[in-house]
Amino acid sequence: MSIDASPAALLADQPQAGAWLVDAVGYEIYIRSFRDSTGNGVGDLDGITSQIDYLETLGVDLLWITPFYTSPMADFGYDVADYCAIEPIFGNLDDFDRLLDAAHAANMRVIVDIVPNHSSTEHIWFRESASSRHAVRRDFYHWRDPGPDGGPPNNWVSYFGGPAWTLHPETGQYYLHLFLPEQADLNWGNPAVIEAFDEVLRFWLDRGIDGFRIDVAQALVKDQALRSNPQIAPWDPTGSRWEQWDAFDHQFDILQPSSVDIFARWRRIVDEYDAVLVGETYVLEPQQLAHLVRTDGLNAGFWFAPMHMEWDPQAIKTALQGPSQALAKQTQVGWVAASHDEQRPPTRFGGGDLGRRRSLMLATLLMSLPGTPFLYQGEELGLEDGVVPPDAQADPVGSGASLSRDGCRTPMPWQPGPGLGFTTSPTTWLPFGGRSDQDTAAVQVNDEDSWFHRYRTLIKVRRMHPELRGLGVEWPERADDVLAIRRDTLLVLANAGDGAPTAEVGGEIVFSTHGRTGVLQATDVLAPAEAVIIRSTD
Ligand code: GLC
């Protein structure tokens, strides 16, 4: 492929810095469960470095590594106690530099997770802030007097369920936390917080990283007066965390207009380094995504509808069309079907081989749209959620009516045998989850017919065909359950129903989820969850 044919080069008004993102294929590494190089049952930085060859074989070229900073691990690293230091269980800065060098040598870029909405309550900023009502850093966080009844100052709830406020008896005030009480929300209305994070960004950029995945990007800035949200349904503190969250209209805790000013400021910083900002923009309305992703801010925002949709042709189409219609630039979507926070797609979409076929069909659609697709470790192996018995649960969110996130976080199965090539330790931070030999990377890499090879081929096809990455998406209407996407002379057909419709259009096969080769005839029948990319002849 010549450089000039790249969509990045074709986007005339796209600023040059960070433009490489639109051609990248991302891969999320949940560090605790990727590979353990020290034999303590927890994945680490050296473990990632040791698997760069595997990632190169798969064909991804942008790694997102989940937090590895100093942390008491109340939320497994998303509770950061020092943004510029590495938790010893994961390694040290030299290990990080080696990982970065190894990735760069393999032509992969690396983005790190930044967690700016909240810090650990063990962070020195919070400790100082909590030391007295008059502490210099008191305003680094949101402190408020109790409400008139002595309860929380407003009705906000945590994303993890329960009230978003915890009383600090020593100073008699509540502090805000949209997640665990151990994750105190930083006050982004305070210029000193903004300046402190400029330093954090530059610390990592100066080490040579290629950008940031921004945790909880929709929530940084809060309403200045911290007004209560309108309640739209009864709030049941014993309900699931999403039921609790959805009992309120989130007018004042998330999506405040000035969040985009922070991202614009950060964009000016990362542009200096040709680095990018990819937001964890956890919203489900396309307009909300468009609010957060502007041309002068986040380079891209993750779009979560594919993780929350039913397996239904219209639902899939709506989920995939929404962001491109709402965003000023269609390439600003980060496409994700899986992550360390959600049930794995094969489990979500019916389990077993049906779930796996559906997941690959969805991946085929995502890899055919403008934006940056990301796989989550193990997605390329067709992994279902691992089985985690109740007494081995680790996720702080998994109690009560809420689904635990442990199942999607069990260790990567690298090879058959004890420790699955993940570790030499007899015990691991989460159990292996019941993997078969066929689930392992070693077995699949050696089997041309494996899920690994289908994902690998799909990535290669995206790379070889710039028209799958560029602008201009047409959705030809079909009377059946087949989703059709036209990308220049390429046509993607995906049977999202249970029936057996005919292709209706023929052409040379560029990719097939079902191993078809040669030419697809218009009269050929598409199996349920089958997808093909063809160069159409009409
Ligand atoms: C994000 C992370 C999730 C974490 C939460 C709080 O949603 O992906 O794992 O628990 O933020 O930091």
How many angstroms separate the CA atoms of 402 and 381, rounded?
Answer: 27
Locate 128 and state its tokens: 């100082």
Confidence of residue 536 (pLDDT cuts 50, 70, 90): confident
- pTM as predicted: 0.96
- Which pLDDT tens digit goes with each residue over 201-214? 999 999 999 999 99
Predicted local distance difference test score (pLDDT) of residue 400: 73
User: Mutate which of 28, 33, 75, 342 to test ligand 1's pocket (most atoms within 8 Å of Cβ)?
Assistant: 75
Predicted local distance difference test score (pLDDT) of residue 69: 99
Span 111-128, average pLDDT: 98
Check if the beta carbon of residue 468 is closer than 8 Å to that of residue 485: no
* Ligand 1: nearest atom to the Cα of 118: 12
488 is a catalytic site residue: no
- Which pLDDT tens digit goes with each residue over 22-73? 999 999 999 999 999 999 999 999 999 999 999 999 999 999 999 999 999 9
Q: Whose CA is nearest to atom 9 of ligand 1?
A: 341
Q: Whose CA is nearest to atom 8 of ligand 1?
A: 341
Span 420-441, average pLDDT: 98
How many angstroms separate the CA atoms of 358 and 306, rounded?
Answer: 12
Q: Which of the following is catalytic: 53, 249, 272, 447?
A: 272
Locate 162 and state its tokens: 């329960």
How many angstroms separate the CA atoms of 237 and 11, rounded?
Answer: 48
In short, whether 363's Cβ falls inside 6 Å of ligand 1 is no
**What separation in Å is there between the alpha carbon of 83 and the centre of ligand 1?**
16
Q: Whose CA is nearest to atom 12 of ligand 1?
A: 78
pLDDT at 9 over 60: no
In short, whether 79's Cβ falls inside 6 Å of ligand 1 is no
Domain 472-536 has CATH 2.115.10: no
Strand partners, 64: 28, 111
Q: Domain map of the chain by residue range? A: 18-117+191-464, 124-185, 472-536
Q: Which of the following is catalytic: 215, 380, 384, 385?
A: 215
In short, whether 216's Cβ falls inside 6 Å of ligand 1 is yes
**What separation in Å is there between the alpha carbon of 215 and the centre of ligand 1?**
6
Could you give the C-alpha distances from 382 to 357, 388, 453, 489, in angstroms and in order?
A: 9, 18, 11, 30
Domain 124-185 has CATH 3.90.400.10: yes
User: Mutate which of 33, 79, 179, 220 to test ligand 1's pocket (most atoms within 8 Å of Cβ)?
Assistant: 179
Predicted local distance difference test score (pLDDT) of residue 1: 36
**What separation in Å is there between the alpha carbon of 418 and the centre of ligand 1?**
31
At position 363, the amino acid (one-letter code) is A
At position 320, the amino acid (one-letter code) is L
Q: Whose CA is nearest to atom 2 of ligand 1?
A: 215
Domain 18-117+191-464 class, CATH top level: alpha beta
How many angstroms separate the CA atoms of 120 and 181, rounded?
Answer: 9
**What separation in Å is there between the alpha carbon of 75 and the centre of ligand 1?**
8
> CA 44: distance to chain centroid?
19
Show Cβ contacts of residue 391 under 8 Å, excluding neighbours closer than 6 positions. none
272 is a catalytic site residue: yes
How many angstroms separate the CA atoms of 52 and 108, rounded?
Answer: 9
In short, whether 179's Cβ falls inside 6 Å of ligand 1 is yes
Q: Whose CA is nearest to atom 6 of ligand 1?
A: 78
Predicted local distance difference test score (pLDDT) of residue 7: 57
pLDDT at 13 over 80: no
Predicted local distance difference test score (pLDDT) of residue 403: 87
In short, whether 214's Cβ falls inside 6 Å of ligand 1 is no
- Which pLDDT tens digit goes with each residue over 485-512? 999 999 999 999 999 999 999 999 999 9
Predicted local distance difference test score (pLDDT) of residue 3: 42
**What separation in Å is there between the alpha carbon of 420 and the centre of ligand 1?**
27
**What separation in Å is there between the alpha carbon of 101 and the centre of ligand 1?**
27
Predicted local distance difference test score (pLDDT) of residue 12: 52
Predicted local distance difference test score (pLDDT) of residue 4: 45
Locate 425 and state its tokens: 């330790």
Three-state DSSP class for residue 68: coil
How many angstroms separate the CA atoms of 484 and 305, rounded?
Answer: 19
Span 110-138, average pLDDT: 98
Q: What is the DSSP code string of 141-154?
A: B-EE---TTSS-SS
* Ligand 1: nearest atom to the Cα of 78: 12
Strand partners, 520: 507
How many angstroms separate the CA atoms of 317 and 195, rounded?
Answer: 42
Tell me which residue of 372, 382, 318 sits closest to 346, measured CA to CA.
382
Confidence of residue 402 (pLDDT cuts 50, 70, 90): confident
Backbone angles phi, psi at 101, to 5 degrees: -65, -45
Tell me which residue of 9, 214, 19, 3 sits closest to 109, measured CA to CA.
19
In short, whether 215's Cβ falls inside 6 Å of ligand 1 is yes
Span 160-188, average pLDDT: 98
Confidence of residue 6 (pLDDT cuts 50, 70, 90): low
* Ligand 1: nearest atom to the Cα of 339: 8
- Which pLDDT tens digit goes with each residue over 324-366? 889 989 999 999 999 999 999 999 999 999 999 999 999 999 9
Q: How many residues does the chain have?
A: 538
Span 89-116, average pLDDT: 98
pLDDT at 390 over 50: yes
pLDDT at 2 over 50: no
In short, whether 204's Cβ falls inside 6 Å of ligand 1 is no
Tell me which residue of 217, 345, 201, 363 sits closest to 280, measured CA to CA.
217
Confidence of residue 401 (pLDDT cuts 50, 70, 90): confident
How many angstroms separate the CA atoms of 202 and 207, rounded?
Answer: 8
Backbone angles phi, psi at 367, to 5 degrees: -75, -5
